[in-house]
Chain A
């Protein structure tokens, strides 16, 4: 009972604010709605027993990435950010195509659910205890089996950081140390 209320609440918030995010003209509003979506998704993670991802989502996504977005939106011109979405035929067509694709995928999920035992996927979840304690299990996995990808990810982040700094550095300005 509580579980489904929570799920529908989070899912509703996520989908609604995602839709609002795509349709708002103002980029800051989009960012705020994306933050709402991300927080709702974090709630879904928590419901799925992924505590660590829940907090990683909040700290990294909302506290890090989205702040970066807002920062950049603040830096670039406002009247550009306020551009209207011009409704064009192209957009309509694209949206319809995506909707059709979505309907197909939805149908697949729906019918796959109707075919128990066909081996498409398991209907019921494993007990939550299998993943507890979550952060310890995650850490074990991360630092044993996935150590190399982990290191690569850290290198990726470093490269991205350096790249972003190089990219965003103002070359016109005379270098001035304070």
Chain B
């Protein structure tokens, strides 16, 4: 990086731009993202994202694993929202097999996925606040996330990469007291959200750091394929849970929170509100979990008929899509994953231009990327 700059006259004063290498080892690039910033003083003139430091060839691995064997791998993409990844994959294969998970399985899936959404948003909120310099919210968020992870652990034994669902339904029955745990968490959670809101929402430093920072309007969002809270913060009321209901979302009442200006503050508000809505969904769902089987009619060996399928769900970070091509064998012919983080990351360059270095950090935070998913 020194060399780059030296070629451009080598000084802070003489150089037209100073190239600052942010990452792959940097406290706030959320993993191993590397961003080359072209700076004029502290003002960002352009960026270049260098990704691939965490590339594991997940899509290629899929071609050499059976359908069941591949399911744990998707957990390692967006590792802070493993349950959602698993849901998308299982439902995609189910669609390919033309089977449906039984109602009980679908409701439990919904509950776990919504809990996972809350957990993912909590982690986002904590790290985002930390990036902007607020130290305390991180620990509060971790405290609540811990409750959710405990529920996961009790349910399937794993906390992070859960592999909670199986193709065709669930492997595990919900444990005794599952509903009670979820209910207790949900009841506490309203009060806890208020704590973050008290710390951040009205704080004038927080507002000045996030308002009008990293604006991405609706047209740009759609043009770039940005989805999830980023799209909704720009005012587009688009949520696959409503638009193409999957799992058991069609049974529950919830709102799609939207913002107006598409800046960092709006994205923050949208995510906070989404956590509230997820809590409501969980509360509705545990009221009546249908009795019955938890596994659909799926054989020991999964051999979907030849064909292709695309299935997408609303993961915490945006639209997570699976495109699976089957040649009739036990292993997929091709799996292509549409990761929300990767697509959303495209917007980074447009969002940071003209902002300061400090805003770059805030904007990377507000995009809520997970490098495991970006690089796959």
Which residues of A pack against B, CB within 8 Å? 74-79, 173, 176, 178
CA distance A104 to B40 in the complex (A): 54
Q: Given A74-B12, A75-B11, A77-B14, output 4 extra A-B contacts at Cβ < 8 Å.
A: A76-B11, A76-B14, A77-B9, A176-B43
Flag if A79 contacts B356 (CB, 8 Å): no
Listed residue (A74, A77, A173) with the most chain B CB atoms within 10 angstroms of its CB: A77
B10 in the interface (beta carbon within 8 A): yes
Flag if B13 contacts A178 (CB, 8 Å): no
CB distance from B363 to the nearest CB of A (A): 16
**B37-48 interface bits toward A, Cβ cutoff 8 Å, 1 = contact, 0 = none:** 000100100000
CB distance from B43 to the nearest CB of A (A): 8
Listed residue (B9, B10, B11, B40) with the most chain A CB atoms within 10 angstroms of its CB: B11
**Residues of chain B lying within 8 A (CB to CB) of residue A75:** 11-13
Flag if B356 contacts A77 (CB, 8 Å): no
**Residues of chain A lying within 8 A (CB to CB) of residue B40:** 173
Query: Would you mind naming 15 contact pairs between A and B with Cβ atoms under 8 Å apart?
Result: A74-B12, A75-B11, A75-B12, A75-B13, A76-B13, A76-B14, A77-B9, A77-B10, A77-B11, A77-B14, A78-B10, A78-B11, A173-B40, A178-B43, A178-B356
Residue of B nearest to A80 (CB): B11
Determine the main DSSP class of B at the interface with A: loop
CB distance from B4 to the nearest CB of A (A): 15
**Residues of chain B lying within 8 A (CB to CB) of residue A76:** 11, 13-14
Determine the main DSSP class of A at the interface with B: loop
**Residues of chain B lying within 8 A (CB to CB) of residue A74:** 12
**Residues of chain A lying within 8 A (CB to CB) of residue B43:** 176, 178
CA distance A78 to B11 in the complex (A): 8
Listed residue (B13, B14, B40) with the most chain A CB atoms within 10 angstroms of its CB: B13
Please give the number of chain B residues whose Cβ is less than 8 angstroms from any Cβ of chain A in the complex: 9
CA distance A78 to B40 in the complex (A): 19
CA distance A173 to B14 in the complex (A): 12
**Residues of chain A lying within 8 A (CB to CB) of residue B10:** 77-79
CA distance A79 to B2 in the complex (A): 13
CA distance A78 to B10 in the complex (A): 8
CA distance A79 to B40 in the complex (A): 21
CB distance from A104 to the nearest CB of B (A): 43
CA distance A150 to B76 in the complex (A): 72
CA distance A75 to B18 in the complex (A): 12
CA distance A74 to B14 in the complex (A): 11
**Residues of chain A lying within 8 A (CB to CB) of residue B9:** 77
**Residues of chain B lying within 8 A (CB to CB) of residue A77:** 9-11, 14
Residue of B nearest to A170 (CB): B13
CA distance A78 to B12 in the complex (A): 10
CA distance A123 to B12 in the complex (A): 53
CB distance from B206 to the nearest CB of A (A): 18
**Residues of chain B lying within 8 A (CB to CB) of residue A79:** 10
**Residues of chain B lying within 8 A (CB to CB) of residue A178:** 43, 356
CB distance from B211 to the nearest CB of A (A): 14
Residue of A nearest to B11 (CB): A77
**Residues of chain B lying within 8 A (CB to CB) of residue A173:** 40
**Residues of chain A lying within 8 A (CB to CB) of residue B14:** 76-77
CA distance A99 to B12 in the complex (A): 40
CA distance A76 to B40 in the complex (A): 15
CA distance A178 to B354 in the complex (A): 9
CA distance A76 to B10 in the complex (A): 9
CA distance A78 to B356 in the complex (A): 25
CA distance A7 to B197 in the complex (A): 63
**Residues of chain A lying within 8 A (CB to CB) of residue B12:** 74-75
CA distance A177 to B11 in the complex (A): 23
CA distance A78 to B2 in the complex (A): 12
CA distance A178 to B359 in the complex (A): 12
Residue of B nearest to A75 (CB): B13
Q: Considering the complex of A and B, which 10 residue pairs feature the smallest CB-CB distances, nearest first? A: A75-B13, A77-B11, A75-B12, A77-B10, A76-B13, A76-B11, A77-B14, A75-B11, A78-B10, A77-B9
**B1-30 interface bits toward A, Cβ cutoff 8 Å, 1 = contact, 0 = none:** 000000001111110000000000000000
CA distance A178 to B356 in the complex (A): 9
CB distance from B352 to the nearest CB of A (A): 14
**Residues of chain A lying within 8 A (CB to CB) of residue B13:** 75-76
CB distance from B309 to the nearest CB of A (A): 50
**Residues of chain B lying within 8 A (CB to CB) of residue A176:** 43
CB distance from B134 to the nearest CB of A (A): 22
CA distance A74 to B10 in the complex (A): 11
CA distance A173 to B9 in the complex (A): 17
CB distance from B240 to the nearest CB of A (A): 38
Which B240-296 residues sit within 8 Å CB-CB of chain A?
none
CA distance A79 to B5 in the complex (A): 13
CA distance A178 to B355 in the complex (A): 9
CA distance A176 to B14 in the complex (A): 19
